[in-house]
Structure 1
């Protein structure tokens, strides 16, 4: 039986979410071997570009891309430096102050910001479902950060703010990715965003630590992070976005939450309190409701506002 393009997009996005779920766990393991956030970020991007370069060159020879214009290169540079690098830098730093499970729950409020961004930049119509989603997300975040014990244990104000900054960057990354995919293949977008993220990282914080020697564990964790979350996940995500759009991909990607919580419990021995579990459920439920409501509107003929 032939799979429809929409179902294929859902499968690609779910696979991407499962691989992304390993990211917070790998970051926490990197901190356990005394790697700083900047060191690990540098290793990830070095491995990412090294893995993607031959794939990109091979794919370009077989399937020529559209010419690389200055405008196209500038768009990819913006997505890579702000979206990819900014999102990762804030996320990596945030996980120094917050647990992997809680951080992942807060991070996956980003589909709500994608919905708002789609309204602002793509003139998509915001209806009742969007506002209900935002309300559930807001309540879910309050429960997740557990205000009664805020600043203790796995939750700190600094960590929460850093994770939120990451969500804004990643929302930009997803929205701008949808725009860039109209001119480039998923492989080209993945390669150039990672390359510009690496260049931004090298400019801000040159990796002098590499000349002092790097442990095998650090190299292995950097490779795992690059291969799973920067190469495979992004390729699958962009393929999903090209088939079903940024908004739907963002919604389906929230299924990273249960995957990441499960891995955090098994690998890092973390756990969520009852209020945090309810908060995570509200965020996940709100995003799913947004997706279901949007599909309902589409079936009943509601159209996006014109630009």
Structure 2
């Protein structure tokens, strides 16, 4: 059951880029998407926390830090991701974003929080080769360079966010941390909407379907099922199972959007996913908290 819950979570996260593309096709703007996604997610998670009635014992400074990281770090990462999604295929973007375990590992080594073993070095080389194949495998000459830059910007921003969160917020319960992050991001996009004159809601009715799907399926349900699976499988297994996410994105994008990755891109994607799994597999228990918060407590883009 634990493994099934983790795979359900990965599928929910993996569907988000496809839901985003469908929302864009219905006339939804990125600003509207981000505000409604985080607003609905924050309200829903707040209700879950209220029903759970778990006492909050963390210092106010820690709670404020979690809120601030959502308002700044996570809001920036999500903005870059959905800006990139406007300009490139959902499947390609999902593979670019999934280079973040590579960047997290490098960052942890440079910060002295981890050490570079031979196994990790091999995984990093595999991820690098996979990324190169994904980019060069476009083969059509229509690869949007701006979209690629935004995609890697999202991965790098997420990396910084993870490393900071692991150091500052390691003692905060993951569900509470996620709720505060969602609330912080929702606040940022609300302020942005007020400053820029509001958000557009003159899109097709189908747009609401995809917005609700992003907020409730690819955010709230994805988080809750991951927490449930995590309790049953442990962080290492849960993190490895989460590599199913870009596979789901690629399959759904091919089925619904007509996106067809080339053979080199598929091979590169498999290398990236394999490297991510190996990096989690080789992580020592004392360091697993990094991968744990990387993939669950702070949610995805």
Structure 2 regions of 5+ residues with no counterpart? Answer: 288-301
Alpha-carbon distance change, 234 to 79 in structure 1, aligned in 2, over 3 angstroms: farther
Question: Do the aligned partners of residues 221 and 54 (structure 1) sit closer, same or farther apart at CA in structure 2, a change above 3 Å counting?
Answer: same
Task: Report deviation, 1:105.
Answer: 1.1
Q: TM-score, normalised by structure 1?
A: 0.81
Aligned length: 285
1:66 alignment partner in structure 2: 57
Q: Equivalent residue for 1:35?
A: 28
Does the aligned pair in 1 maintain the 2:193–2:199 contact within 8 Å? Answer: no
Over 3 Å counting, the alpha-carbon distance change for 1:251 and 1:24 in structure 2 is same
Whole-angstrom CA distance in 1 between matches of 2:138 and 2:113? 39
Distance in structure 1 (CA, Å) of the matches to 2:171 and 2:200: 39
For normalisation by structure 2, the TM-score amounts to: 0.82
Establish whether residue 275 from structure 1 lines up as the match of residue 264 from structure 2: yes
Unmatched segments (≥5 aa) in structure 1 = none
Once residues 237 and 161 of structure 2 are traced to their aligned partners in structure 1, the CA distance between those partners, rounded to angstroms, is: 14
1:131-146 to 2 correspondences below 5 Å: 131-146=121-136
1:251/1:287 contact within 8 Å kept? yes
Match of 2:146 in 1: 158
1:219-298 matches, cutoff 5 A:
219-237=208-226, 244-245=234-235, 250-292=239-281, 294=282
Aligned residue for 1:132, secondary structure, equals helix
Query: Does the Cα contact within 8 Å between 1:177 and 1:238 map onto a contact in 2?
Result: no
**Corresponding residue for 1:118?**
108
Cα deviation 1:60-94 (Å, max 9, x = unaligned): x3x21214x23212320243134421221111000
1:174-253 → structure 2 map (5 Å cutoff):
174-178=162-166, 182-206=170-194, 208-210=197-199, 215-237=204-226, 244-245=234-235, 250-253=239-242
Q: Secondary structure of 1:126's match?
A: coil
Larger radius of gyration: 1
Instruction: Give the alignment's Cα RMSD to 1 decimal.
Output: 2.9
Deviating more after overlay: 19-28 vs 30-39: 30-39
